[in-house]
A and B are shown apart, each in its own frame.
Chain A
């Protein structure tokens, strides 16, 4: 059980960070520092180069070569940090010359750490809702297919295969042309939840169907039917809960997939508009040789995604299997 507690704590931190983004983030997600494009992180120190202790401070980065995007750290200057000022938890006292960039800046000069926090709202919110939608749709479809069997099963499974094999990108490309040109962030959000929910459902449905089919032949199920349990009761109370382990794993798979897929769909025009931060797009912009070699801090969304998915998995997948075994015992 300890592992799941760790998961809960991690997840709570992530959600709290996302919710409290305006207060925790030192900058807004669209704040650009034009002299600091792709700048490295400003690491807070407490000991200066001479060994003396100070309140937490940072050294400013100075542009050395604009084209090559190299910076020199001005170790002679100490810029102390200000706490609980300007509406945020912590920031630099000299924002113009030496802004606090815990994870460096991106190619527009925007603070990666702040965008990570704000992006959590967008991406985690989207991925969570979409995953729930996919799991719900998949469980219903798979449950009915597995339980009813026969022609219903065939039709539902073939329909879900159709959804699976038709590349979503074709649909979205054609769809985008008929949607209004300017889409608000909320509209994009809802559209993506629907699209991802539909696209993610088939894999879920198939697994659920397989499990339900096996379970319905077990003694306890037959016994329950003979005792007069209705179809829906059997399905909801006994058969579907048997799929909970599978659904949990699917959740672990769907969340990161959806976060990343948002970036892919933005290529055909259906993504969150700039300058809204989203982990998927941040990671996509960082997926090039230059970033890997020279600006590794841009890949922090990958670490963030890892932490969230790990937390989710620890929390959900560690429940003792026996606890949910709802047989006739």
Chain B
């Protein structure tokens, strides 16, 4: 496991939520909330909490803890990363207890995804943290350095020992509420140890030697072949989970005015340029070079693997270099001096810089393919590989021309990714945090997205989202090429895993894992 994942995994293993999104089927499952009903206006959910559930320290779990958790979440001094996401239209949810085991969640306006939003919210023990919240020290109350005896959660495991930078040890939570279908107490495992291993190669070697049972980091394409050999020899188990949802994307800086006096400003932000780029790159070739053929070509942010939300009817342009050249000619980029490369109307070469992070071999290979393919239609691309944080800084400050990068999704439902779709969002990479939509099509997407979130009728939501994907394909603010196949590897003594396409691929369902 890499160091950065530590906090997230601790939460997942030791905490519980009201409802859980099953990461294999993507449906909501009752979790700490046993059942719920929805009011006719769709704004209120009444959840019945599971009875006889206690925290890992034995203290009973009641509706008060739920109310407290939301209070803490929205408290300004907490500055929780999800305090903005667990809102509808910017307004928080209202959570009241209408009985010791009944909670009423009121949405400020109709919200299509409904209770899916609550998958993010860990339920915290009021008896342990109420004082901190009152004093305003909540943010610092629990951290990785809190003595384990003071922590209490509703998850399958309890943190036993924390060695910073080295390992995290968990033991089973004897008070965990869940049991298997035939009544056996969960979790099946007695102890889980997560070790911080900085080099991914070392993780693979440990799996091979039997020193570890699971690789928590996503496997790279180059890891497949040696692991397959080990799996064929029966030493490990390799599971094929399927084509991934996420593809890295290529986008250009579309902030108005950012190119200022640059002579290329007349064409560099035009839709035709990006569409030409999309047509120029042979996605088969891209897939074969970058992911060794293991994956699927993709043309937009939603991939075919996302069966529920993928709009299969959206047209996309096939690999067509001649067509790409025509598109570029239509915005004035023509080879004016016979050297094979394009120039604009004032004879400036059609050239731009493409940034990506150094250290990820798939991204490095990808930008090399993009550069070479664009060369065949006359565009010159200068690839610069930088430290990851420098790239991120340039995204925020808008100081770049083109970038190739990606951010993994957390849920298939597009409503979980509002920051990407809405022009006012921080993840709207090509032009983030706009005060008003800069283009007509972005405004249309904003409207459609707002409608899409507000209806609770699934088929309406899908139709609206199909339209959004159509608009996206027409203007291509970001160009997508291929999504890699996802594999998961465990030692042969691990059984009963439920692999997911989205990380943490195995540990999201840690309570049902067993070992022989």
Asked if A210 is at the interface of the complex by the 8 Å CB criterion, the answer is no
> Would B386 and A182 count as touching, CB distance under 8 A?
no
| Cβ distance A97 to chain B, nearest Cβ, rounded Å | 17
B residues near A268, Cβ cutoff 8 Å: 358, 386-387
The B interface is mostly helix, strand or loop, or mixed, namely helix
| Cβ distance B335 to chain A, nearest Cβ, rounded Å | 22
Asked if B447 is at the interface of the complex by the 8 Å CB criterion, the answer is no
The A interface is mostly helix, strand or loop, or mixed, namely loop
Interface residues of A in 274-299 (CB under 8 A from B): 274-275, 285, 288-290, 293-294
> Would A269 and B224 count as touching, CB distance under 8 A?
no
Contact flags A169-197 to B (C-beta < 8 A → 1, else 0): 00001001100011000000000000000
Interface residues of A in 99-127 (CB under 8 A from B): 107-109
Interface residues of A in 41-78 (CB under 8 A from B): 66-70
> Would B225 and A34 count as touching, CB distance under 8 A?
no
> Would B387 and A68 count as touching, CB distance under 8 A?
no
Closest to B225 in A: A68
Asked if B226 is at the interface of the complex by the 8 Å CB criterion, the answer is yes
A residues near B226, Cβ cutoff 8 Å: 289-290, 293-294
Give the CA-CA distance A285 to B372 in the complex, in Å.
20
Closest to A269 in B: B386
Give the CA-CA distance A285 to B360 in the complex, in Å.
11
A residues near B149, Cβ cutoff 8 Å: none
> Would B383 and A288 count as touching, CB distance under 8 A?
no
Q: Which of A67, A108, A181 touches B225 (beta carbons < 8 Å)?
A: A67
Number of interface residues of A (CB under 8 A): 29
Q: Which of B223, B353, B372 touches A32 (beta carbons < 8 Å)?
A: B372
> Would B353 and A182 count as touching, CB distance under 8 A?
yes
> A67-B224, A173-B387, A275-B368 are contacts. A289–B293 as well, Cβ < 8 Å?
no
Size bracket, chain B contacts? 20 to 34
Asked if B365 is at the interface of the complex by the 8 Å CB criterion, the answer is yes
Give the CA-CA distance A109 to B288 in the complex, in Å.
12
Give the CA-CA distance A294 to B368 in the complex, in Å.
24
Closest to B391 in A: A269
A residues near B384, Cβ cutoff 8 Å: 181-182, 269, 273
Contact flags A24-38 to B (C-beta < 8 A → 1, else 0): 000000001010010
Asked if A246 is at the interface of the complex by the 8 Å CB criterion, the answer is no
Give the CA-CA distance A177 to B384 in the complex, in Å.
13
> Would A290 and B222 count as touching, CB distance under 8 A?
yes
A residues near B289, Cβ cutoff 8 Å: 34, 37, 108-109
Give the CA-CA distance A88 to B293 in the complex, in Å.
34
Interface residues of A in 138-195 (CB under 8 A from B): 173, 176-177, 181-182
Asked if A266 is at the interface of the complex by the 8 Å CB criterion, the answer is yes
Contact flags A256-273 to B (C-beta < 8 A → 1, else 0): 000000000011110001
Closest to A266 in B: B358
Asked if B318 is at the interface of the complex by the 8 Å CB criterion, the answer is no
> Would B204 and A176 count as touching, CB distance under 8 A?
no
| Cβ distance A24 to chain B, nearest Cβ, rounded Å | 25
Closest to B383 in A: A274
> Would B293 and A269 count as touching, CB distance under 8 A?
no
Closest to B201 in A: A289
B residues near A275, Cβ cutoff 8 Å: 368
B residues near A285, Cβ cutoff 8 Å: 361
> Would A267 and B228 count as touching, CB distance under 8 A?
no
| Cβ distance B205 to chain A, nearest Cβ, rounded Å | 6
Closest to A68 in B: B225
Contact flags B346-380 to A (C-beta < 8 A → 1, else 0): 00000001010011010011001000100000000
Give the CA-CA distance A157 to B353 in the complex, in Å.
44
| Cβ distance B232 to chain A, nearest Cβ, rounded Å | 11
A residues near B463, Cβ cutoff 8 Å: none
> Would A274 and B364 count as touching, CB distance under 8 A?
yes
Interface residues of B in 305-334 (CB under 8 A from A): none
Q: Which of A34, A267, A294 touches B359 (beta carbons < 8 Å)?
A: A267
A-B pairs with the 4 shortest C-beta distances? A66-B293, A68-B225, A269-B386, A289-B201
26 pairs from A and B in contact (CB 8 Å cutoff): A34-B285, A66-B288, A66-B293, A67-B292, A67-B293, A68-B228, A69-B225, A107-B361, A107-B365, A108-B365, A108-B368, A109-B289, A176-B386, A181-B353, A181-B355, A181-B384, A267-B358, A269-B358, A273-B383, A274-B385, A275-B368, A285-B361, A288-B201, A290-B222, A290-B225, A294-B226
Q: List residues of chain A with CB under 8 Å of any chain B CB.
A: 32, 34, 37, 66-70, 107-109, 173, 176-177, 181-182, 266-269, 273-275, 285, 288-290, 293-294
